[in-house]
Structure 1
Amino acid sequence: MSELEVKYGLPREVHYCKKCVMSNQRPASTQEFRHTIESKKVTLNIDENGVCDACRTAEMKNNIDWKKREDELMALLDKYRRNDGHYDCIVPGSGGKDSAYQAHILKYKYGMNPLTITWPPILYTDYGYKNWKNWLDVGGFDNLTFTRNGRVMKTLTRLSIENLLHPFQTFILGQKNLAPKIAAKYDIPLIFYGENEAEYGNPIADNTTSLRDKSYFSFSNIDDIYLGGVSVKELEEKHNIKKRDLMSFLPIESSELANKKIEVHYLGYYLKWTPQEVYYYAVENTGFKARPFRTQGTYSKYNSIDDKIDDLHYYTTYIKFGLGRATYDASQEIRNKHLTRDEGVALVKKFDGEFPDKYFNEVMEYIEMKPERFHELCDQFRSPHLWTKESGDWKLRYPIWEQG
């Protein structure tokens, strides 16, 4: 019997972390500009003791001298703080709990003057839009919102689903690339994000990053870039999208950074970051409100709720990697000691893979895709080493509740 096909460069054998509920199938580092998700990915590392890198990072946080880290933050802010009314840092966000917390604490505790910037969700939820408004009106922040070409956004979103089964690929690119462009344009020296990617097991542990040091913040050759799994040249020739209409999705050009000194920092490096406490802070200080109902695919109400495509995105991670939204949420809460692993396993069994039908038809109408076509794509993108079909239904070969 031939070996089952393994897609996306995932490990052939499925192993789960003994502390949380995440598996080694989770991509830990992806190159969003690649034209194919078949190319090799780095996945979450689980060590010889059965513990994943994200859990090891969580353990390390308990031994950090957070007072010393805060002193480092204050020294950094003292270096760049301005008293002439000009912005001295940028906080990207769309009004979620994390960006609300970041902007508020930087302004009101540490005396900075942040410019908040927003690359809007593809399809705002009503409550997500209200949270964005409250962020600015209740929290009290200036904001620059970039409204991109709607026709191009729609086309790239559809192509991302068709070619990568990744509804958020081009949205993430635009969101990631907006801050460096605004920082360069307005000579703002600091960009603050929230949690360091190492919190989730990604091999990006450095807190301080110069824009010139990271290729994903800038580019020098547009021919090397793919959007929605399609090259820029093909987008021009086959989809009638001019290069000028793609620039907002692309990184800042290297030449624009030649004489700029712009640093990227993660606030979670300096301040102990607990998502539940960040949520309570945002509620109290910026009027943030949780979803009025449970998010499909998980048990929570306040994570990633501003975009109607969010739920579909996590469903596609379940299809490709066997890891749904409940797995991500439960793993995080286990690391923060708000759940036991047994509780996490039970929640994953109950909610992972729940189909997000609330906004599904609206999303399909937006991208002009027939619902049955989406389901066909899901079947095509399942990796045989993870999935099997029994009595007409797809089943995970190695669900966590059967692995222990």
Structure 2
Amino acid sequence: MRYCIRCILPDTRPGLTIDDEGVCSACRGHEDKEFHIDWPARKRAFEALVADAKDRSSGYDCIVPVSGGKDSWYQIIKAQEYGLNVLAVTWRTPARTEIGQQNLDNMISRLGVDHIDYTINPDVERRFMKTAFEKVGATGLPMHMALFVIPIRFALKLRIPLIIWGENAQLEYGGGKDERLATDLDREWLAKHGCLQSTNAADWVGEEDLTEADLAAYSLGDTGEAAAEFKLESVFLGSFFKWNSFENARIASEHGFESNAGHLKTGTWEFADIDCRFISLHHFLKWYKFGITRSFDNLSVQIRMGMTTREEAIEIIRQKGWEAPHDDIKAFCAFQGLPEEWFWQVCESFRNPAIWHRESDIWKIRGFLIEDWAWLNSQPTCASPS
């Protein structure tokens, strides 16, 4: 594995590249944010989108997809600053946390927005998550498919001309230069970057006896022509305003958002990934596939922002270990009605042979960032490791 010389991300992370100088595309994206993007011009472009949306709307001006997290609050606050009449739309996770529900309720009441909380048949979600986990090692695939598709379908059905998403992940986490400058979340972006393994709902028909009708909530169907005809704009707010997760959390907190202080499970941000018990599993599989944990992403952002050094970040990674979210794994297995042995066996099937090898019956990553890593603490077994 080859690691960026500035942050701690390796070249195994999807979409990330490391150039001849040893600097990753995420760090180059941060350079663009700080020195090369004309943010005043981007702001004017957003103002033009807002004016167009107001001219074309007949009720709601925009949809903001929300979970209740700090970015959701920020997106609505920013939309309201520009006088947009917001409809907030949520894909309801089958594992919503208590603090997630509290933040969502407070967001609706304190920011004052109309809201749709869209619940998919839990049995359909259970079966879809099971097959996505077993087939491609991605418990979060159904989640991402639903949360991207549902707002688009509502926008077309209700004739709402604008959807405002959050961060531009290709700018924040390592896309190519052309991708970093993109503003639109469209079908091409979904296919390449939407955590969908280049699949759509139709590809999953028949798996776990799922039918086309079962998967209706996950399907864009033939909405492409309708979106083009209606001129639906679907944009990243982070492509128009410099994205800062810590600043977003601060702004959201001023309006009533609460973080998960004292209950951090994975990563280093107490204000992130707190709405759903299963999101931690999405990040956990990265250990087997790419040799990284959630903290690699969080700490790399902190390095770029000058909040910590690379050396300090490496020490934090050493101390945190492999970050297996045991309680969430138990909850997921209970949701599936399957033993934990099943979960660990599926994880093992996605161990990446390009980076992992065995030494004395212990799995290790070749060229890992930390030489004295406690590999014995990261062994999956048929029960939760000690």
Contact 1:180-1:252 within 8 A present in 2 as well = no
Residue aligning to 1:323: 292
CA distance in 2, matches of 1:267, 1:304: 19
1:5-404 correspondence runs (5 A): 14-28=1-15, 44-63=16-35, 64-81=37-54, 86-107=59-80, 109-198=81-170, 199-203=172-176, 204-209=179-184, 211=186, 216=191, 225=199, 231-235=203-207, 239-253=208-222, 254-257=224-227, 259-285=229-255, 287-402=256-371
Residue aligning to 1:36: none
Q: Number of matched residues?
A: 362
CA distance in 1, matches of 2:367, 2:120: 42
Cα displacement (A) at 1:215: 6.9
Quickly say closer, same or farther: Cα 1:207–1:188, change in 2 above 3 A: farther
Cα displacement (A) at 1:175: 0.8
CA distance in 1, matches of 2:164, 2:221: 17
CA distance in 2, matches of 1:270, 1:362: 38
Contact 2:62-2:163 within 8 A present in 1 as well = yes
Higher mean displacement: 325-334 or 67-76: 67-76
Quickly say closer, same or farther: Cα 1:181–1:66, change in 2 above 3 A: same
CA distance in 2, matches of 1:96, 1:281: 12
CA distance in 2, matches of 1:240, 1:62: 49
Question: What is the percentage of aligned positions where both structures have the same residue?
Answer: 30
- The aligned amino acid for 1:195 is E
Quickly say closer, same or farther: Cα 1:259–1:74, change in 2 above 3 A: closer
Contact 1:89-1:114 within 8 A present in 2 as well = yes
Contact 1:100-1:135 within 8 A present in 2 as well = yes
The alignment's TM-score, normalised by the length of structure 1, stands at 0.83
- Mark the runs of 5 or more structure 1 residues left unpaired by the alignment: 1-13, 29-43, 218-223
Higher mean displacement: 276-285 or 295-304: 295-304
Structure 2 counterpart SS, 1:364: helix
Contact 2:57-2:161 within 8 A present in 1 as well = no
- Mark the runs of 5 or more structure 2 residues left unpaired by the alignment: 193-197, 373-386
Higher mean displacement: 393-402 or 183-192: 393-402
Cα displacement (A) at 1:115: 0.9
CA distance in 1, matches of 2:329, 2:370: 28
CA distance in 2, matches of 1:180, 1:89: 11
- The aligned amino acid for 1:24 is D
Cα displacement (A) at 1:330: 0.5
